[in-house]
Amino acid sequence: MWTIIAEKPILLGIMIGVVAVGLLFSWLQTGNKPIGIAGLIAALLVPGAFLVADVIVTDREKILNIIYTTVEAVENNDHEAAVARIGVPEIRVRALQELPRYEFTNLRVRNIQITMVTGSYPPEATADCDAAATVSLKRGTVKNMRVTRRVILTFRKEPNETWVVTNYTHQPLAGGPDSFTP
């Protein structure tokens, strides 16, 4: 239920709007004052749904925020900021060894699918997304090559309610790992 309230305010607004229109229509047909008041209250709840959705930040929204801020850091070639949310030292070192080999000029992610791991403690989630980047090798002849990769991130919720990356991998969109896959 919280997912609908916090992440889908348009759907909730439409549902409440239908109820409000139904109540107001009934009031117009019958002249029954309590029905009219209920219709007005329901109509006022529509913007309230958007306010509530803006206040509540779900775990999925927190993970999306991490993904987008990391994408921005990678696109700006800010390696320290890009690995700031990695919570496992070995994975952080691996990322810091991999990122400086490339120079990013453009990076976009799409088709982000976040799956919460049910029954895990502490809570865990997996994010699977498609990334398209314009990349140049720092050492080599490859310049401004368009690359698409499937990026898979594993997240864990810390006791302080923040999410950290515990593992990552990237591979071609089709097929299995290649020579660039960590």
- List domains and CATH numbers for the chain: 2-55 (no CATH), 59-171 (3.10.450.50)
- State the pLDDT at residue 102: 87
Residue 16: pLDDT band with limits 50, 70, 90: very high
The tokens describing 138, both together, are 């720092």
The answer to whether the Cα torsion of 72, 151, 128, 167 is positive or negative is negative
- State the pLDDT at residue 74: 92
* Burial (Cβ within 10 Å: 0-12, 13-18, ≥19) of residue 2: exposed
* CB of 42 closer than 8 Å to CB of 19: yes
* CB of 149 closer than 8 Å to CB of 174: no
Q: What global pTM score does this model have?
A: 0.77
- State the pLDDT at residue 125: 95
* CB of 52 closer than 8 Å to CB of 6: yes
Residue 14: pLDDT band with limits 50, 70, 90: very high
Element of type H or E holding 146: strand 145-157
The tokens describing 158, both together, are 């810390």
Stronger pLDDT, 177 or 47, i.e. the higher one: 47
